[in-house]
Structure 1
Amino acid sequence: MGMLFSHDTLPQRVLFGTGKAAEHLGAEVDRFGASRVMVIAGRRDSDTVAGLTARLPVALHYSDIVQHVPIESAEKARAAARENDIDLLVCLGGGSAVGLAKAIALDTALPIIAIPTTYAGSEATNVWGQTEAGRKSTGVDARVLPATVIYDAALSLSLPVGLSVASGLNAMAHCIDSLWGPRADPINAALAGEGIRALADGLPAIVADPEGVHGREQALYGAYLSAVAFASAGSGMHHKICHVLGGTYNMPHAQTHATVLPYVLAFNAPAAPGAESRIAAAFGSSTALEGLNALRKRLDAPRALKDYGFDAADIPEAVSLILPVVPANNPRTVTAENLAALLAAAHRGAPTSAVSVGFPPPES
């Protein structure tokens, strides 16, 4: 029958250029005609923000940013925006800063200019998330899509190599998950394949030369592609797992994604030959899992969930929370038993080589 699919492209302006962030930000603030800007950035970025916004009409600098956007944090930030008559949000940093800006926009419909300094990708999606009573909820809303994204590799030079690796593998997870997400289509697949290639080029370059620009530019480019693909395809099995782990057990976002990814790939790839071959081609490897594992070895990537505070005793509860939200179109049928085995393997950092026929037994 040939190709048959539906694809939505999100309306967003992207400005890319190393050393150009201040120039691009100033032009965008003028374009919006803003007179009372709220700048959202962590305290460690205060000097960077001061330089970028020195000539802008900033009404409020806001730095109370919390991972996974607790509802209390969101409400406090929304109140601050209203009290200061804010007409434009500017966020700089990683996914937590962008997430807080989205939480404000969800309530106020204020436009957002996002300046990412990590590879989280939230800046390119219309997906919001927040945590209440230990449970993370997500949704899709046009109001939270940043109107403009400004990418400047120079702003990521302060991101430590280890966090760069974890954040970049989070972006890789966006690419891979989008190949079997609920709304996966050929356009998403093309973006994801190029995103994998760019990240596989950029991340080793960052490790080899942390002060170099090439690797960081490639990683930002790959992160953008990964997020666009993910926003269109929707959350697949990998993201459903990581959202539960992050929101329920307060685990670090990037490291959790980086750790879980090879296990989900090993689980799904044998049942998704088209996606598997595209991932392998993007890595330039004989199989998708071989390519990912080789990259992870070069990067000294995060290995085990137990290293980030996840307890094996929490696996049954995690399974009960994840299983109902796994998309129905996942390539392989997910059961309580094989999901528990996946989490157990990720918990201890077990090899993924035998996963296609069942996870390795627990270590004796």
Structure 2
Amino acid sequence: MSIVLTLFHAVQACGGVYTGLFSAMAVYNLKQNEEQAENAAKYSNTAEHQLHKTRTTQTSGAIASISSIVTSVVLAVNPFGQSRTWPLLLSAANAGGIYLGYRHVSSFWRHKAKVPFFTDYNDGITASNSMLQLLLAWLIETLNPNSKTRNTITSRFSIRLGMGAFAGELVPHEQQPSPAKGPFPMRGLLLPPKLPSFPASAISLSCLIPVVKLGFFHSSKRQIHNIRLRNMDPFEYNANPGRVVFGPGSIQKLPDEIKRLGLKSPLLLSTPQQVSQAEDLAKILTSASIEPAGTYNNATMHTPSHITEEAMSFLHSKSADCVVSIGGGSTIGLGKAISIRTGLYHICIPTTYAGSEMTPILGETQDGRKATRSDPKILPGTVIYDVDFTMTLPVALSATSGVNAIAHAVEALYAKNKNPIISLLAIEGTKALAESLPEIIENAQSQPAREKAQYGAWLCGVCLGSSAMALHHKLCHTLGGSFNLPHAETHTIVLPHALSYNAPAIPEAMEKLATALPGSEGDATKGLNVLLEKLKVKRALKDYGMKEEDIDKAAEIAVSNQYPNPRKIEKEPIRELIRRAWAGEPARADL
């Protein structure tokens, strides 16, 4: 749409300059050569009317020239009116155009009974239409100088067309017998002789303006709606503390971060699959004269209590003064569990897009049930985002981990403690991930895409850390903790279904979210379905081991405790939601 608007503006600006020069030349020729008016009179049934038009054009043509050129220059400098550099000049130009329209309209209606229908009646219609457009544009500019609506742009385009019609009134092109005399002959400035006259062309294009307006208004109605002034909802916002180090190669700053804190003996944490990355950290630290206290490499998803106890026993046998976790949600969760129990400073190095590193939330599993708690002390102190550690992240895990991050942003948009700051981060984070993840699927080694995904994951993680989560996260914790389903994959499958469940209660959030999802066509649920298709991810919980008989148990657990959610939690719709997620059906807004 931005390309179309740019081309649209280029056409109107060029047309405005052309019309201005044309009008100036017309005035000059009329003053230099009386024969021009006499020739023009031959092609009207009433010489009096044609001569009146000539005198009118002499006066108002100068206004047309100045108004058109000035307005076009202003628009060339500031095409979409997001700041008014020369508001008074632009308003004056439009006012001059209104006067021009008035002179031509009065000229037409004064002699309407004496002129042929198909020649000057068209001019009268064009003049009337263009004067109305000029008046509307002037009102928009004067009464609402900060307007960003595209109606302003289309009104200005009508101005260009109207002025072109006025300038072309002087000599109907298809009837012009010979080039006009004078230093600026008119014929060479017009369209080829076999094409319609300039006024007729302008009339035809002017008729398209309402259609163009309707199309742009339809495509931008959400943006226009968003800038309408309305009462803001009251909110509270608490910025979570924490330090972020972002950029390629930033892992080399780890020793400096530890020294800055006055620490010297970190415990390294990883999963069994990421032992090599933990070893790389140890080498970086050792080369900077920092000796790790040890490495625990048995972190497990959903942070089972027995793994935490095992890690605590390992820690007690060492002399660590801080914890460094490298990996995804499993390792970071273990680091949080250790930090909240011991008070040790926690440094995270995320290698996925899960976003857990930016939250004061800890989810732990015990006896087959996962429980979460929130405490400011759980929030890691420093997070190092190094894109180099994500370059080898498998494509499938990149996709599900990224959608997991999007889920944080989605629920932040309708959280009970939502606020405008977090909503902005949620839309930006969702947009960054929705644009970068499909590119990663096509080219896993694209560093710009990986960086953008990591940036989006950071923002979505902030959303999770600052907002109360609702249905989606409660369901995923139920399914993951109770049936040992993989964390990111479960979030990916459940998200569009949970959103469709809440959709009737969150129209504003759905509208905002749709703007961040390519292919949504105004429907956020459709946008998520489209994204998951692009990412080629599995869509069924049964593919990860959940049995059909587990659906009823999952529904019972999900509704056993009521929790804040935009829509009331009801067992039968929740059961159907889980069934669809189990079967791998696309999300539908009929729950």
Q: What TM-score do you get using the length of structure 2 for normalisation?
A: 0.59
The residue identity in structure 2 corresponding to 1:224 is W
Residue 224 (structure 1) shift = 1.0
**Counterpart for residue 173 of structure 1:** 407
Partner of 1:60: 294
Equivalence map 1:129-148=2 (5 Å): 129-148=363-382
1:120 counterpart SS class: coil
Larger RCO, structure (CA 8 Å, separation 6 or more): 1
Q: Is the 8 A contact 1:42 1:64 kept in 2?
A: yes
Letter in 2 for 1:44: Q
1:14 lines up with 2:249 in the alignment: no
Per the alignment, residue 461 of structure 2 pairs with 227
1:326 Cα shift?
A: 4.8
Q: Which residue of 2 aligns with 1:306?
A: 542
Write the mapping of 1:141-290 to structure 2, written as runs, cut at 5 A.
141-284=375-518, 285=520, 286-290=522-526
Q: Which is greater in Rg?
A: 2
Partner of 2:315: 81
Structure 1 stretches of 4+ moved >6 Å: none
Can you give the 5+ residue segments of structure 1 that lack an aligned partner in the other structure? 359-364
Once the two structures are TM-superposed, the CA of residue 332 in structure 1 deviates from its matched residue by 2.0
Q: Is the 8 A contact 1:98 1:122 kept in 2?
A: yes
Deviation at 1:234, TM superposition (A): 1.6
Shift of 1:144: 1.6
C-alpha distance in 2 between matches for 1:30 and 1:326:
46
Query: Which stretch of the first structure deviates more once superposed, 278-287 or 333-342?
Result: 278-287
- The match for 1:36 is 265
User: How many equivalent residue pairs?
Assistant: 354
Amino acid in the other structure paired with 2:463: A
Secondary structure at the aligned position of 2:446 is classed as coil
Match of 2:573 in 1: 338
Select between 64-73 and 339-348 the one with higher mean Cα deviation. 64-73
**Which whole-Å CA distance do the structure 1 matches of 2:327 and 2:377 have between them?**
20
Q: Which has the larger strand fraction?
A: 1
Task: Give yes or no for contact 1:34–1:57 (8 Å, CA) kept in 2.
Answer: no
Listed one character per residue, the Cα deviations across residues 280-313 of structure 1 (whole Å, up to 9, x for unaligned) are 0112432111211111111112201111111121
Please tell me the root mean square deviation across aligned C-alpha atoms, in Å.
1.3
- Of residues 291-300 and 245-254 in structure 1, the stretch that sits farther from structure 2 once superposed is 291-300
- Partners of 1:112 and 1:103 in 2: how far apart? 10
Does residue 350 (structure 1) correspond to residue 585 (structure 2)? The answer is yes
Classify the secondary structure of the residue corresponding to 2:512. helix
Structure 2's unaligned 5+ residue stretches are 1-230
SS, match of residue 118 in structure 1: coil
Give the 3 Å change call, closer, same or farther, for CA 315–44 of structure 1 in structure 2. closer
Counterpart-to-counterpart distance in 2, 1:43 and 1:259: 26
Structure 1 residues 46-94: Cα deviation after superposition (integer angstroms, max 9, x where no partner): 3332223322320111101111111111111122222212111000001
Partner of 2:370, secondary structure, is: strand
For 1:110, the aligned partner's letter is: L
Tell me the secondary structure at the aligned position of residue 303 of structure 2: coil
Judge conservation of contact 1:252–1:308 (CA < 8 Å) in 2.
Answer: yes
**AA in 1 matched with 2:553:** E
Q: Shift of residue 331 of structure 1?
A: 2.2
What is the percentage of aligned positions where both structures have the same residue?
40
Aligned counterparts of 2:551 and 2:465: Cα–Cα separation in 1: 28
Corresponding residue to 1:25 among 225, 245, 254: 254
Which residue identity is paired with 2:584? Answer: G
2:107 corresponds to which residue? Answer: none
Q: Structure 1 residue 236: deviation in Å?
A: 1.1
State the match for 2:553 in structure 1.
Answer: 317
* Native 8 Å contact 1:240 1:326 kept in 2: no
More helix by share: 2
Structure 2: which amino acid aligns with 1:313?
Answer: E
Distance in 1 of aligned mates of 2:297 and 2:235: 42
How far off is 1:45 after superposition? 2.4
The equivalent residue for 2:349 is: 115
Partner of 1:67, secondary structure, is coil
2:562 and 2:491 map into 1 onto residues whose CA distance is 16
Q: Secondary structure at the match of 1:357?
A: coil
